[in-house]
Structure 1
Amino acid sequence: MMAHVNLLTYPICPMKIIDIIESTRPIKSDIRNAYIDFSKMTLSLVAVVTDVIRDGKPVVGYGFNSNGRYGQGQLIRERFRPRLLAATPDSLVDASGENLDPHKIWDCMMTNEKPGGHGERSVAVGTIDMAVWDAVAKIADQPLHDLLACRYGNGVANPKVFVYAAGGYYHPGKGLQGLLGEMQSYLDRGYSVVKMKIGGASLAEDQARIEAVLKMLKPGQQLAVDANGRFDLATAVAYGKAMAQYPLFWYEEAGDPLDYELQARLSESYSGPMATGENLFSMQDARNLIRYGGMNPERDYLQFDCALSYGLVEYLRTLEMLKAHGWSPTRCVPHGGHQMSLAIAAGLGLGGNESYPDLFQPYGGFPDGVRVENGYVSLPSLPGIGFEGKADLFAEMKALSE
């Protein structure tokens, strides 16, 4: 006679990460901003493969890093992937054992890492973190924006998210008419705010470019400008004085992102909205900007990008810091133009998200069929971040994981 077996006395094996796959991909373009050109730009595409089976296939989370920083394959393969694969499965999952815990995974990746030095490793961690959150939401069978609203927001994701069109790069052979044609194409697609680069030409030439774009805008449409950290204090102030006459949406990243005194001094002479933060890669650096950069929580915008700054786990800490300093999440409009930040904006009530309608494809943009209406987009109800809804991007991701 077979003895009775109490299954409850046997440990249930938690789900686990099977593999982490990285591929460095080119996103090169002949464009340039005031500081760099993108002719040799790359990014890391990552797949986090789990042992959870849905529709006969393993659940896979995907992630990639934003433009402006290069691929992180070496760091991922030498440090962060081995740590996660060597960890015991139960150390990386939530209390149920049925889903990953992004916070535990983050702690595992950062094991034996000293504080400070947030440059390249923050991008590697942020890329994996994106893929982890994609997997977590897929395993929960929820859109990430809904999952975030329930866990960390007010329970309901924003149905619409503000987006602006970033472009206006310097390009060989692209004159004023080319710039105007580009800006008009964004407006025709439903954007109400467009952004262009400054600082890669003389002040007089940049003023002519700004004035030409402003003249084409209709009521309710605005222009933002971005210097990509190019200016010293004197030049930043000179540009600010010249642009004070224009109704700009914002004046972005005038000087080196870590020069908080320059930002503070500029705020004394330029009274219009300013934006910065895309090149600050930790909560601590973001906190120093808030403490010492002269930023105004009623006027200015913060552009921290989770894909470059240790991921959403760190971004949640940044949002807590901002709250403690009197900042609303609505003043956060992340850099990068990717769907991860779009999901965060909807789920956590941020002020919007950057968008690159024609650049850095197929990694930027929205799921197929999503249209910009009066400067806003509505997110479809796709499990995870929603990459599967963008055919050209998902084809790259699927090929990586298979």
Structure 2
Amino acid sequence: MRIVDIREQTAPIASAIANAYIDFSKMTCSVVAVVTDVVRDGKPVVGYGFNSNGRYGQGALIRERFRPRLLEADPMALIDATGENLDPHKIWAAMMRNEKPGGHGERSVAVGTIDMAVWDAVAKIAGKPLFRLLAERYGTGAADPRVFVYAAGGYYYPGKGLEQLTAEMRGYLDRGYTVVKMKIGGAPLADDLKRIEAVLSILGPGQRLAVDANGRFDLETAVAYAKALKPYDLFWYEEAGDPLDYALQAALAAHYPNAMATGENLFSMQDARNLIRYGGMRPDRDWLQFDCALSYGLVEYLRTIEMLKENGWSPTRCIPHGGHQMSLNIAAGLGLGGNESYPDLFQPYGGFPDGVKVVDGHITMPELPGIGFEGKADLIKAMRAVAE
């Protein structure tokens, strides 16, 4: 049993949208295929992965550093104790050999992309959905296939006024979502408040709005928004300031008693631990958005969950960024609070397997081996093109 090859292709996910910080007109992502010599149903098992939106493709790092290390490793050193499957932890260690501590930047995305493909392969070799394998190995033993999801959108783009914004959000609500999210910080406060109030006006009972500043604000501006947002009873106020400015996040809590969220741009367990230590985050109301596809993968995410438990945080306070099926599996298998969803954006990489519907803000995971990419026709077509 061994990894035969690791193939990468950098694919465009460009879109004419912008948040408060960047536009997505030249955005790319890496699609990875981990090809094994294990045969199921007459074909080699191939695991697939890709990195989340907001970070660019990682082809150079994958080809120059991480792929060679895995292909040069002793195949027996990458197999688990049963001898019947690959070991993601050993594979992760082989990728990170000769890497210094710290510097959790682009390499965390490259490793996280390969790690996703490895876990997909491992679950396929085991003949199980990944979420059930995770529940058996690291959870309670019994996975809950029903996962909360919210619809992320509300980006800025030329010509998008209040009518277009509310039509977009109404479309998400009509598809079964109960929580929708929109961007703020890309317009003056007064204009953003008009946008927020327009969306709030179309929400019905049990429906909520979250807002996301994408790290745009200094403390003064973050506080000004906090005071203005306080009366709205939002689902959360997300990433007000720079993700590494823990002092700003801690100071903001004194001005905003409602729920806040951050963490999508923290790329290691150590960074997550610093947020918990110094960021003033409150485990009774705030939300953590660490994204395994950007932060060294599930192997590292398991360490992050253990760190959270040691510091009095429940995994149910985690709702990962990224809108991908890997985090859906983690949420179902390890009991997270839910997952982000991009119903219309970043296709074919966002969304759910074909036929999966949102009902009362939740989806039910299908019983597909691995992560479930084969259940989404447009996505698996693009992935198989990389493998072949």
TM (norm. structure 2) is 1.00
Matched, 1:123 2:109: yes
What is aligned with 2:7?
A: 21
1:274 counterpart residue number: 260
Matches within 5 A, 1:3-402: 15-402=1-388
Q: Structure 2 CA distance, aligned partners of 1:280 and 1:207?
A: 28
Q: Which amino acid aligns with 1:345?
A: A
CA distance in 1, matches of 2:238, 2:54: 15
Deviation at 1:110, TM superposition (A): 0.3
Percent identity, please.
79
In 2: Cα distance, 1:215 partner to 1:372 partner: 22
Consecutive unaligned residues in structure 1, runs of 5 or more: 1-14
Kindly state the Cα deviation for residue 97 of structure 1 after the two structures are TM-superposed.
Answer: 1.9
| CA RMSD across the alignment | 0.4
The structural deviation recorded for 1:95 is 1.2
Distance 1:102 1:268 in 2: 42
CA distance in 1, matches of 2:272, 2:81: 31
Unaligned runs of 5+ in 2: none
1:157, CA displacement in angstroms?
A: 0.8
CA offsets per residue over residues 311-343 of structure 1, 9 Å max, x none?
Answer: 000000000000000000000000000000000
Distance 1:195 1:79 in 2: 37
**Partner SS state of residue 253, structure 2:** helix
Residue by residue over 1:242-264, the C-alpha shift from the partner in whole angstroms, topping out at 9 and shown as x without a partner, is 01110100000000000000000
Distance 1:235 1:24 in 2: 37
Give how far 1:397 is off. Answer: 0.8
**Inter-partner Cα distance in structure 1 for 2:249 and 2:41:** 52
Q: State the structure with more CA Rg.
A: 1
Letter in 2 for 1:328: S
Distance 2:145 2:32 in 1: 28
CA distance in 1 between counterparts of 2:309 and 2:358 reads: 30
Give CA deviations for 1:49-95 in whole Å, capped at 9, x if unaligned.
00001121100000000000000000000000000000011100101
Q: Secondary structure at the match of 1:343?
A: helix
1:298 is aligned with what amino acid?
A: D
Q: Distance in 2 between matches of 1:344 and 1:159?
A: 10
What do the CA deviations read for 1:195-225 (whole angstroms, capped 9, x no partner)? 0000000000000000111111001000000
The alignment of Structure 1 onto Structure 2 pairs a total of residues equal to 388
Alignment correspondent of 1:7: none
1:6 aligns with: none
Work out the CA distance in 1 between the residues paired with 2:74 and 2:82. Answer: 15
* 1:171 CA drift (Å): 0.9
Q: Shift of residue 159 of structure 1?
A: 2.4
